[in-house]
């Protein structure tokens, strides 16, 4: 669990982290280097969820070694599904991480939304919905693992 006061901003009490799969932790059907280790480290302290439409039915195999719950989006409206999922988890206890337009509402709904500028780029909607923007998924793991970085970046 993460419990840190961000001066002039908010007190974060985070228990859950939600990741988008494609474009955020994977590119071209492969996990980005460092993702398995990064998520497994976070899973020691947080409940971790990975959301995907799993269009090709390969997510189970791709995430075999990852200690996270795979959640398959079972609707054509992925944007709403992701936003509602964060709400159901208890938005005040959630960090959400994504890069696409369909992640924008999820990022906005979470207590802390992080947009990742990965190898597939980042949609403007995701940037606008996020409170923090990171250049790489591995930087996200480092930021969450070292809460003083959050404090330094988000304080007012």
Residue 44 within any structural domain of the chain: yes
Average the pLDDT over 115-142 and give the result: 95
List the structure tokens of 150: 């959050």
DSSP character at residue 32 = P
Instruction: Name the domain count of the chain.
Output: 1
pLDDT digit string, tens, across residues 63-77? 999 999 999 998 788
pLDDT digit string, tens, across residues 26-56? 998 899 999 999 999 999 999 999 999 997 7
DSSP character at residue 90 = -
Residue 61 within any structural domain of the chain: yes
Q: Across all residues in the chain, what is the average pLDDT?
A: 94
Place of tokens 């969820």: 49
For residues 42 and 17, is the Cβ–Cβ distance under 8 A?
A: yes
Give the CA-trace dihedral at 84, 37, 22, 4, to 10 degrees: 40
Cβ neighbour number for residue 69 with a 10 Å cutoff: 14
Residue 156 within any structural domain of the chain: no
* pLDDT score at 75: 77
* pLDDT score at 122: 96
* pTM of the predicted model as reported, rounded to 2 decimal places: 0.95
Q: Which domain holds residue 64?
A: 13-120+130-143
Strand residue runs (E) in the chain: 2-6, 10-14, 16-20, 26-27, 30-31, 47-52, 69-72, 94-98, 112-116, 132-134
Residue 51 within any structural domain of the chain: yes
**CATH for 67:** 3.40.50.1000
Residue 153 within any structural domain of the chain: no
**pLDDT of 9 higher than 90:** no
């Amino acid at each position: 669990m993460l419990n840190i006061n961000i001066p002039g901003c908010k007190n974060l009490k985070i228990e859950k982290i939600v990741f988008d799969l494609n474009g955020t932790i994977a590119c071209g059907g492969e996990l980005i280097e460092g993702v398995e280790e990064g998520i497994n480290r976070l899973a020691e302290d947080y409940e971790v969820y990975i959301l995907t439409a799993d269009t090709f039915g390969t997510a189970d195999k791709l995430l075999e070694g990852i200690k996270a719950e795979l959640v398959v989006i079972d609707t054509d409206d992925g944007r709403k599904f992701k936003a509602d999922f964060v709400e159901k988890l208890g938005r005040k206890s959630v960090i959400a991480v994504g890069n696409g337009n369909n992640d924008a509402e999820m990022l906005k709904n979470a207590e802390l939304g992080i947009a990742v500028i990965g190898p597939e780029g980042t949609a403007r909607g995701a940037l606008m919905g996020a409170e923090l923007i990171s250049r790489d998924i591995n930087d996200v793991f480092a930021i969450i693992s070292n809460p003083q970085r959050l404090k330094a970046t988000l304080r007012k």
